[in-house]
Each structure stands twice: as C-alpha cells, then as structure tokens.
A and B are shown apart, each in its own frame.
Chain A
Amino acid sequence: MAFGVLLAAAEMRSELLLKALGFPARAVLVVMAVGLSVWGLKELIAYQWSKTVRRPVRARSNRFMMPVEGMIYCVIMLVLLSGSVIGRSNTLMLVYVFMAGAFIVNGSVMFMMLKHLSVQRTIPRRVMAGEPFSVQLTLTNPKRWLAAWVISIRDDVSNGRESLHPEVLFAHVARRSSGRGQYQLRLSQRGQYTFGAIQVNSRFPMGLVERGLILAAHDQILVYPRIGRLTSGWRRNVISATQLASHAQQRIGTFHDEFHRIREYRHGDDPRNIHWRTTARRNELMVREYRESRDRQLILLLDLFLPHNASEIQRQRFEYMLSFAATICDDQLLNGRDGDLVFAANAPQLQVWKGTAEHGGRDKLLDVFALMQPNLEADLPSLLNIAREEQTPHSRTVVITSMEDRAEQVRWEKSVAINTHHQAWAEPPQVIVADPTSLAMAFSVERLASA
C-alpha cells in the first residue's frame, strides 16, 4: 500500500512520466499505483480483522508466503531496474525483465497449479496404541491442461496433549488424474485424535514463493489401549478353565462338562468312562476325557481411580491396567463361545457394558476403553453392586485396580457384604492389582506376530 501511494505521489509531484511519455503513460501508472494501494489496504484490513474476529473455518482458503530468498530476489530485481534506469542501460534492463518474467510466470504457474486441487484422507476408524498404521492421502487434479508438480501435503494430528504434522510429497500428479500417497503414524497415547485441516503447499518451480491451500477436512480416530496376550499361566491359575473328566459330575449342573477327547487310561480314571469300542480297536484301555466348559460369564470390574496428583509411574500403571482389562475382554469375546461378558467401570457416569462379540460388540467395547478417563471419585461399592446384580451361578467376577490400597478396599467391601448378609457372592470376586511385575507371568503387552 505504501509503495503504491509513494509511486502515485512521486509521479504527481515530479511529472516525470508525463513529460517523458505523455498523459496515457501517467494515467496507466496512476491507475496501477492506486490499485496497488487499494490492494495493500485491503490486505492490511483483512489481516487485522482476522486477528481480532474469530471467523468460522472455511472449507477452502488460500495461503501465500514469501520466504527470505524470494524477498532477496525482489530486492535484486529492484536494484537492477534502478541501475538500468540510472545508467540508461538496455542490457541491464534486459536482465531485469528476464528476472521479472520468470518471477511472474513462476507465480502464475503456481497459482494455476493449485487451483481445483482436492485431497481426500483415508484413515482407519480405530487403531491400537503403539500400532503403526498408514494414512492415505489422495490428491486429485481435475484440471484439463496443467499437471501438479512437487506438491507437499501437510496434515495435522492432535489429541490436545501432543500434535503431529506428517507430510506427503507428491512429485507429479498428471492432469485429470489422482495420486495416492501415504504417511505412517504410530500413536502412543490412548484416546481420541483429531485430524485437522490439510495444507497443500508448493514452491515449485523456482522456490521463491510458497503458495498453498488450506482444506477443511476433519476426521477422528480412536486409539485403543494396547491389547496384549494372556499367557497360559493366566488361564491355568486364574481362570481354571480346564478340569479333568475324573469329576463325578452331572451333565447339567454347576459345571457343564463337554466331551473333550479319548485318551489312554491312566491310574485313577473313572472306569465308567472307558470307551470300549476304541479299547477293542486299539487293544488298550482308552477313556473319555471331559472338560469343564470354559464358557462362563465373566464379570469384569474396572476401578478407574487415580489420584489428582498422580505420578508418571501411577499414570503408566493406570494405562497398563486398561491394557490388561482390554486384553481380558478381547480374549473373552473372541475365544469364548457361549460365555458373554459384563464389563463395568466406575467412571464419573458408571459405565456398564454387556454382550458378545457379535454385531460389532467388540468394537463398541473397545471404543469405551479408548475414551475412558481416570475418576478421582471412583466408587467401589456401586461397582461391586453391579457384579452382584449380574452374577449367575456360572459367572466369575474379576476386579482390577491399579493401586494396592484400592485392592484392599475391594477385599474389605467384599467381606463387609458377606458379613452383613447382603446378597451373597455366587463366587467371590477375584481382585487383581495391575502391577506389571506381578502380572508378568500372566499378561504380556507385546503381541505375538500375527499368524
């Protein structure tokens, strides 16, 4: 704006152009100077306005930035122009106009190259914390005549605590075509991540000016806690799912025995389980082995208590607890055939989930895990009451907490309930403190390589 005003004022005062080239040249210069001033004023007002008034984000907006090298280029051009005018040198003027021509063509090419470009982002809806995944960006160039060169697409990923800015560089996208590129992410924090506006930038070909587009393309992704694997020690020592068929049990009763296999007779086996036909065939005693059905209802209670000034170790244990609980739920839903799962957590609003893996039940449960937050006022009695209400003769209850004193409190609550003749436990809940050291034999955060 200042330059335009100065130019007009200089001509009005000195009448240089008027004397040299006549009125039309002066008129052209004044019109250009006024236009420049108006444009500058408009940019100034727009800048100040944007700083003071928060406007809703537009779907598509442009950006322009001139780096230092571009400014130096303009300064050199100006010096050459001044030198040619002062020194009356047409050859120096020629050098100046070639620089100016290249600059103008460069800017025009960039402007036209970025027009009508669109970007589509493809992301998974859910990922596991620490799991690498790819985000695909599809750059579409619908223009008829002009390809897009050296386009850098910058994405914005944040969850309020950390922010990432991955980029994909597209060397060339031909006219009327699309190009697909990917970048990789590994999100370590559980929760919800937001993908913000996409920036499409280019400095091609001369690198003196950067132009870009800002496209409003918002997406969200849920990051689950890490799902590890339960060891056989967990199944054996905690769940106790397998029983030999030596029990004298009814088919229908407390335990629903299932025929498991036929094996050789061992000392102590019930003679009534001898399978005579196989015995005759193999000429050795063979018995039927039954296995207690593991499809028992699991009631998993999760204590979300975390003190206000929790240390980093406490927070890590909290996440470890969620990871452990999620693994148990995942295991129960995937591997249990008839058993279902009841999950409850003492969030600010009590979270209760019941169901099976069918109809996307697993995803919905893991979504709950993704969004779970610590609760300073986590209430244990109400949590235990849910278990009492949901328990069945076939159910087993597991309470998981991240702190030892909370575990003690659970045990006390459990015993108080028994002593005061509240509804008795069909099976007393098992209390587990999510301590990485003590659970090392039962649970591993590292997943095995997928088969």
Chain B
Amino acid sequence: MSIATTPFASHIALRTLLKVSISCLLALSGGIFAFAEGGPIAAATIPIALGALLWNDIKGTFSLNVWMANGLGLIAFAIAGAEFFGESIEGRLLGFGHLLFYLSWILLWQEKGTSQIWWLCALSVLQVATSSVLTNSIWLGFFLIIYVLWALWTLSIFTLHRAVQRTTGTDSKGALSPAPIPSPSERNSISRNGVRTASASRWITLRFVTGIMANGILSIIVGLAFFVLTPRVWVGSPLFIKNQVSAAVRSQTGFSEEVSVGDMGQILENHDLVLEATFSDSQSGDPIDVNEYASGLGLDAPLFRGTVLGEYDNGRWTAVSERFQLVRPTSRRILNRISPLVKQDIRLHSIGTQTLFACGPTVICLPADESSRYESEHELLGNTFRRQLKDSDDAETGEVFEYFAYSLSDHQRPYSMVHPSVERRYAQMMTRFPIGLEPLAELAKSTTQTAEGSTLTPNASVERLVTLLRDSGEYHYSLKLSIDDPNIDPVVDFVINRKEGHCEYFASALVLMLRSIGIPARYVNGFKGGTLNTKTGRIEVRQLHTHAWVEAYVDRRWIVLDPTPAARDEAVSAISETSHFWTDLTADIRSLWVSGMTLSGGQQRRMLFAPLKDSTGSILESLQSFADDWNSQGQGSGSVPGDARSRIIRIIISLVTFALLLFSAVWLWKHGPDPLRRRLRIRRSQTSIMAPTVPFYERFRKILAQRGHQRRESQTPQEFAVDLDQQLQSLHASRALNDILRTLTQAFYEVRFGHHDLSEQQLHELDASLDALERSLENGNSPNGR
C-alpha cells in the first residue's frame, strides 16, 4: 500500500474510538447532573448512551431518521416546557437541564456526523454547567476535573478524525475513494491527498495520549489561576447562593445559622483546626485548666458555644427571626462591673463564619487588638457573639481572628442584660412546638408522668428526658444517615423508628420534647472538647469536635443539657488520636474547596489587589519623591546638591547594567562557547548534509529497534540483514521479507559507499517497502499480506 493513503482499518478504529469517547462524555455529564440533582432522569443517560453506542454506532442495528428525531424533539420540548413553568427557580432550572438530556438522547441515537458530535459536546457542557448551579459539593470539583480531561481527549480525537476524513475523503461509511484510472481523453486533472502517520497502522500512540493529558492538566492549572484572578464583582441577587454558602460552611464547620438535621456525618473525619484557646483568671492572669473550669460548670467537657437556633421546620433549624432580638456592640465598661471572670484567649481560624465561640456563660467578647477593624456584636437573648467590620457589612472570614471572651466561673449567678419581660417573651417563643410531631409529644408526656399519672416538676422532667435519650440504652449514637420512613419528620423517625443517630438528632429530640411539655428549650451548636497541645499550652479544637446540645429555661435561667450518649465522645477521641496522611490531605482539599466556593470580592481585594495597590503606591511615592528632590535642586531648598541627581544616575546605571547582563546571558545561552552544544550543532549539520540519502536506512533501523532487533557494533549492514532474516524466519513467506532486506541494504551501500543519489521514485519505493516491513512486523504476517 502506498504511503499516501491511510490504512482503512485504522481509520475505522479511530471513528469507533471517537464514538466511544463521546458516549462516555455524555454518560459522565449525565452522572454529574444526576449526582447534583439527586434524581433519576439524568442518570438514565448512562444506559442510553451505552445502548446507543452498541446498537447504533457499532452494530448499526437501529438509528433515528430525521423525521423520528424531529418528532421526539417536539415531545421533549413539550415535556420540558411543562417542567419549566413551575413555581420555583430550582424547578425551572431542572426543567432546562432535563431538556438538555432529552435532546442529547435523541442525538445519541442518530447517525453521528460532524454536526451531531458538535451538538453533543455543547449539550454536555451545558449539562455540567447546570449541575454546577445545583450543587457545590466537593465531589463536583473532582468530577469537573475528570470531565475537563475527558472532554479535551474527546475533542482531540474528534479533531484528528475530522482532519483524516477531510484529507482522505472517506465518507461516513468509511470507504476510500477508488484510485483514478488514466484515460487519454480526460481533460480534468486529479489529485489524491496523502497522510503521514507516526506508525503505519496506528493513529493513537502513547505520545499522543500523554500530550493530550499534559494539555489537559495545563488547561486546569490555567483555569484555576483564572478562577483566583477573575474579579468577584457580583451584580445580581443570589439565586442559590445563600443555601450554597450555608451548605459550604455547614460542611466545613458543622454549624451555621441554618442546620439541616443529618449533615454532620462527614465532619467527624475533618481534622481542621478551628480554634486554639487558653484560659486564665481575668484579674490575676493565672492560668486555669479548661477541664476543671468545665467541671465547675457541671460539664464533662468544655463546650464552646456558637449559635443558638430556635425555630424548627421539617428537619431544619434556623435562628429566631423575631424583631425584638437585641443586638448591641460590646463595650469594655462591663468588665469593670463584673468579677471574677474567666478570660479566654481564643485564636479563631478561618472557618467561614462570623460567629465567635466561647466556653461557659460568656459576658463579653472583645477583639484582642484594640485597633482592630472588627468589633463584636452581642445578641442578648441567645447570648451569642459575632464579629463585624466596623464600617462595612461584608463578612471577612478569611483570616485568623484573635479575641478575648470573658465568662462567668459558674452558673449559680444568673446574668442577663435583658429585661425580664423580654426574656419571658423570648422563653415563650422557645416553647413553640411544630405541627406534625405528635409522637414526640406523646413520648415526652409519657416519660415525664409519674406512676400516678401526674406530671413531674420541670427539673425532674428535664432529667427524665435526658436520661431517656442518653442513659437508657434505648438510643444509640451513630453516624448513620439513612432514613427509615421518609414520609415523616426526621426527628420523629429517629425517636420512634431508628433510635440511632448523631448529636443533632439527640439535641433536636430533646428540644422538641421539652417544648412539647411546655419547657422552653433551644438548640445550640458549637464544639465540645479539644486536645491539649503540650508545646503551646493551648487547647486545640478541631472540626471533629463539632457538637450540638440543648439549653432549657428552668427556674429563670438557661441550663445546659447534653443528651448525646457517651459513645460520641469515645468516637471523637478515637478519631482525634489517629492522624492519617490521607485524612489530613482530604481535610486540606476540602478546606481549599470551601475557600474557593466562598471566595468573595473582599477576600480577593485583600489577598491580591491590596498588595498590588500598596506596591504600586509605594513605587509612585518613590518616583514622586525623586521628582520633588529634583525640583528642589533648582529652588535651593538647602538639601545637598546633586544628591537626587546621583541617585537617579545610580538607578540608570543599575538598569543599564541589568539589561546588559540579561542580554549577555541570553546571548551566551544561544551562542556561547559551550563545547557540547557546538559539537551537537556540528553533528547536526553533518547529519543534515547526509540526510537526503541516508534516512531510509535510519528509519529501517528505528523500525527494527522498536521491535528489539538491533545491529551489533561489529556487524556490517549486510551481516545484519542476513542475521535478521534468520531471526524472522517465523514469518510466513520470508522470501518477500528477504527481498526487502536485501533491497534496503543494497540501496544503503550504493548511497553510503557508492556515493550514488537515489531518484525520487526509488526513495518512494523504499518508503513503501519500509511500510510493508513495519506492518508485517506488527501483524506477524508476510509483507505481502498473506
């Protein structure tokens, strides 16, 4: 076969590879969408794509014609239209996404030409883009990287296929054009295109694959750089951002201003550092052991209180939205009025929240740096603290924030800055019991009744309910997230059916049961426990210490209750003692992901643009000062004459010297007296002189070397040909092979030693022989094809 044509079989293989690639791409985008949506429609793309690949592309059993495709398209638009005109934005987005899949299914079952493949690629990208709006889970990032690499691979194969198709003129069925037959009367000239492959029978080589992968990785790196640098100039109102940010923060810290019961599982594997704290006496400064302090508060471990959530709706806790919540900036004057206080020196790491954590009944939180841009706000009713920029509403949460929290040393002395009537109203609000949770009320009522049928006192009721959940053995601690009955409330499902769950379920159950018997209760989340760093002396609280507990209003004060069984503490201890490389790596990756997904304009400004602005400003100031100094020379300002001038001259000399050095380095690199480089250049030039007549033998040697046949140094080419013929005796009809070897060797001798130049026709024939040799060695057949 001539070198000017591509092997038909390899072209078929290339087309098949393209179809496999595009089918896998669609399956991947379908899987991503299904994961983001949590529904089955997009997931159906996987079997549909595989089925189309098998029956339409490979076997050719069935394919949609134009009329069928158009009809199905109309149906698809009708179905998607019905979904689109729904109530929620999310519903419309899902309708649009489903339409993309319907259209891609239709295209998958059509005969794939160039336009069909381009449409499939475009639809696939749009599907992935729609998925990115539906979720911001870290798995999306992982699949996105895989998708980018696979998409680049598919496009590369497609480009190669199109180039081959255009050059060789193969039709969609793969048949090659017949060779022209000369005719004397023919007036039109004919050309026949040529193809040069790296290998006679393969398009896709290892080098091709690694090149595409390298291209993909480079694309991802450049893309990530763009991601960091693209200004976050948000224009509109967020569509899903609130939930997205909350979800991201939630996955990071285990709490937020909204809690969906059941999301905490993955946190217990996260070793990210949240805060470091030391405890001391506020007046004397003597260090206080945190565990002793916690014991003094009646706790088995220090509880770093975060947010308080009071409203419950179908598995979701939110903060109280009532307007009469009192928030005020904290003032240092209060420190003079209350003593003694326990001073907590806390370094809070960036966890994407404004909440300030503190242990015990906290009176005030103050930034450690009095000149800090931040101030703390005290939400009086929930007794929670948040940090806020003094002159902005922006939430700057990307840096370590150090602050002092002052708390009481015991609970005996109630402290409140709220008027009692307001507090009563608040407490009343904390008794709201949602509809549909009657089983909890019944259980609470039955638990808090005496044998005689009367109701226990509030203190006894509280104790009885806590004991039921924590100590009775009827409920077990677990990170299991499955739901037995999806039709009922998850807390009810936990209390009545599953009877196992993590701290969120226990806390939610206790709060709701207390409310059902009229005891005000609220849901609190934060962190429990920590590990002491013996080097720094600080207690380190990590993500895995995330916890949820309860505060109940009894005897006009809020008491802390922890209904979670002790198994939780044991699990946390076990995990905190082990630190694995992969666990830490996963935690770092997760942290990076959350940082990226919550990247704001303020963070960009602080990390990127502010340093740029500062350095630009300093350069401008320096130039300005030079100009001022220069001008002051003429005015006789009294400064030393020539001082500025000499500085400028020094700068100019430095710049010129630097430029000269740079150009010299470049010149030396290119033309310098490097013996090896010179030798290589000379050898290259010698080779190029010999090149026109020797390369066919070099190619011959390369072909054999790839298959393990190398000429020994002591062998002449003739001897090598004979030796090779004997080695390749296993090939059938070795006479043809012998002819090829003999011809090549003879031609080499003529050129190399006889100084004969070969004609173009002879070189062409030698190339064809080398092609035949390469094919025969690959296939193990005779060069004649038998």
B163, B193, B197: the one contacting A183 at CB < 8 Å is: B193
B4, B215, B216: the one contacting A134 at CB < 8 Å is: B4
Stretch at the interface among B237-245, B627-635, B709-717: B237-245
Interface residues on A, range: 35 or more
Question: Which residues of A8-44 are within 8 A (CB) of B?
Answer: 16-17, 20-25
A91-B136, A147-B211 as given contacts; A181 in contact with B240, CB under 8 Å: no
Q: How far is the CB of B125 from chain A (nearest CB, A)?
A: 6
A376 contacts B by Cβ under 8 Å? no
A94-B596, A101-B226 as given contacts; A181 in contact with B132, CB under 8 Å: no
Q: How far is the CB of A78 from chain B (nearest CB, A)?
A: 12
> A76 — nearest CB in chain B belongs to which residue?
B125
Contact assessment for B192 and A166 in the assembled complex, using a CB-CB cutoff below 8 Å = yes
Contact assessment for B223 and A102 in the assembled complex, using a CB-CB cutoff below 8 Å = yes
Contact assessment for A169 and B598 in the assembled complex, using a CB-CB cutoff below 8 Å = no
Q: Which residues of B contact A99 (CB under 8 A)?
A: 125, 223
Q: Which residues of A contact B207 (CB under 8 A)?
A: 147, 172
A23, A171, A205, A208: the one contacting B212 at CB < 8 Å is: A205
A56 contacts B by Cβ under 8 Å? no
A203 contacts B by Cβ under 8 Å? yes
Contact assessment for B223 and A97 in the assembled complex, using a CB-CB cutoff below 8 Å = yes
Question: Which residues of B172-223 are within 8 A (CB) of A?
Answer: 180, 182-198, 203, 205, 207-208, 211-212, 215-216, 218-223
Contact assessment for B196 and A179 in the assembled complex, using a CB-CB cutoff below 8 Å = yes
Contact assessment for A181 and B226 in the assembled complex, using a CB-CB cutoff below 8 Å = no
B167 contacts A by Cβ under 8 Å? yes
Stretch at the interface among B228-236, B320-328, B397-405, B649-657: B228-236
The complex places the Cα of A182 from the Cα of B760 at a distance, in Å, of 11
Q: Mark A159-194, 1 if CB is under 8 A from B, else 0.
A: 000101111111110000011111111111100000
The complex places the Cα of A61 from the Cα of B235 at a distance, in Å, of 43
Q: How far is the CB of B197 from chain A (nearest CB, A)?
A: 5
Question: Which residues of A276-308 are within 8 A (CB) of B?
Answer: none
Q: Which residues of B contact A76 (CB under 8 A)?
A: 122, 125-126, 129
Q: With a 10 A CB-CB cut-off, give which of A86, A88, A147 has the most chain B CB atoms.
A: A88
A168-B194, A185-B190 as given contacts; A23 in contact with B613, CB under 8 Å: yes
Q: Mark A111-122, 1 if CB is under 8 A from B, else 0.
A: 000000000001
Q: Mark A91-105, 1 if CB is under 8 A from B, else 0.
A: 111110111111011
Contact assessment for B156 and A204 in the assembled complex, using a CB-CB cutoff below 8 Å = yes
The complex places the Cα of A91 from the Cα of B205 at a distance, in Å, of 35
Contact assessment for B231 and A183 in the assembled complex, using a CB-CB cutoff below 8 Å = no
Stretch at the interface among A149-157, A350-358, A404-412, A417-425: A149-157
A101-B222, A105-B215 as given contacts; A87 in contact with B238, CB under 8 Å: yes
B158 contacts A by Cβ under 8 Å? yes
Contact assessment for A164 and B191 in the assembled complex, using a CB-CB cutoff below 8 Å = yes
Contact assessment for A186 and B198 in the assembled complex, using a CB-CB cutoff below 8 Å = no
Question: Which residues of A47-67 are within 8 A (CB) of B?
Answer: none
The complex places the Cα of A133 from the Cα of B158 at a distance, in Å, of 32
Q: How far is the CB of A260 from chain B (nearest CB, A)?
A: 36
Contact assessment for B160 and A171 in the assembled complex, using a CB-CB cutoff below 8 Å = yes
A87-B236, A94-B144, A97-B223 as given contacts; A188 in contact with B187, CB under 8 Å: yes
> B183 — nearest CB in chain A belongs to which residue?
A130
Q: Mark A352-388, 1 if CB is under 8 A from B, else 0.
A: 0000000000000000000000000000000000000
B601 contacts A by Cβ under 8 Å? yes
The complex places the Cα of A92 from the Cα of B134 at a distance, in Å, of 10
Q: Which residues of A contact B575 (CB under 8 A)?
A: none
A446 contacts B by Cβ under 8 Å? yes
State the main secondary structure of chain B at its contact with A. helix
B2, B159, B227, B233: the one contacting A21 at CB < 8 Å is: B233
B764 contacts A by Cβ under 8 Å? yes
B140 contacts A by Cβ under 8 Å? yes
> A146 — nearest CB in chain B belongs to which residue?
B211
The complex places the Cα of A22 from the Cα of B613 at a distance, in Å, of 8
Q: Which residues of A contact B166 (CB under 8 A)?
A: 152, 167
Contact assessment for B223 and A185 in the assembled complex, using a CB-CB cutoff below 8 Å = no
The complex places the Cα of A340 from the Cα of B472 at a distance, in Å, of 126
Contact assessment for A186 and B180 in the assembled complex, using a CB-CB cutoff below 8 Å = yes
A88-B236, A89-B240 as given contacts; A130 in contact with B609, CB under 8 Å: no
Contact assessment for A172 and B605 in the assembled complex, using a CB-CB cutoff below 8 Å = no
Contact assessment for B156 and A180 in the assembled complex, using a CB-CB cutoff below 8 Å = no
Q: Which residues of B contact A101 (CB under 8 A)?
A: 219-226
A309 contacts B by Cβ under 8 Å? no
Q: Which residues of A contact B238 (CB under 8 A)?
A: 87-89
Q: Which residues of B contact A207 (CB under 8 A)?
A: 155, 158-159, 162
B616 contacts A by Cβ under 8 Å? yes
The complex places the Cα of A100 from the Cα of B231 at a distance, in Å, of 15
B133 contacts A by Cβ under 8 Å? yes
Contact assessment for B241 and A87 in the assembled complex, using a CB-CB cutoff below 8 Å = yes
Q: Which residues of A contact B244 (CB under 8 A)?
A: 89, 91
The complex places the Cα of A72 from the Cα of B122 at a distance, in Å, of 9
B164 contacts A by Cβ under 8 Å? yes
A132 contacts B by Cβ under 8 Å? yes
Q: Mark B518-557, 1 if CB is under 8 A from A, else 0.
A: 0000000000000000000000000000000000000000
Q: Which residues of B contact A (CB under 8 A)?
A: 2-4, 118, 122, 125-126, 128-129, 132-133, 135-136, 140-141, 144, 148, 151-152, 155-156, 158-160, 162-164, 166-168, 180, 182-198, 203, 205, 207-208, 211-212, 215-216, 218-227, 230-241, 244, 596-599, 601, 604-605, 609-610, 612-613, 616, 691, 760, 764, 767
Q: Which residues of A contact B (CB under 8 A)?
A: 16-17, 20-25, 69, 72, 76, 80, 83, 85-95, 97-102, 104-106, 109, 122, 124, 130-132, 134, 136, 147, 149-150, 152, 157, 162, 164-172, 178-189, 203-208, 226, 316, 445-446
Which 6 A-B pairs rank lowest in CB-CB distance, beginning with the nearest?
Answer: A101-B223, A181-B196, A207-B159, A166-B191, A101-B222, A86-B236
A-B contact pairs, 28 of them (CB 8 A): A20-B232, A21-B231, A21-B233, A22-B605, A22-B610, A22-B613, A87-B133, A88-B236, A89-B132, A90-B596, A91-B597, A95-B129, A101-B220, A101-B225, A130-B183, A130-B186, A136-B764, A150-B159, A167-B193, A171-B195, A172-B208, A182-B194, A183-B192, A184-B2, A188-B189, A204-B156, A205-B155, A206-B159
Q: Apart from A101-B225, A164-B189, what are 7 other A-B pairs with CB-CB below 8 Å?
A: A21-B605, A22-B613, A76-B129, A101-B223, A136-B764, A169-B193, A184-B194
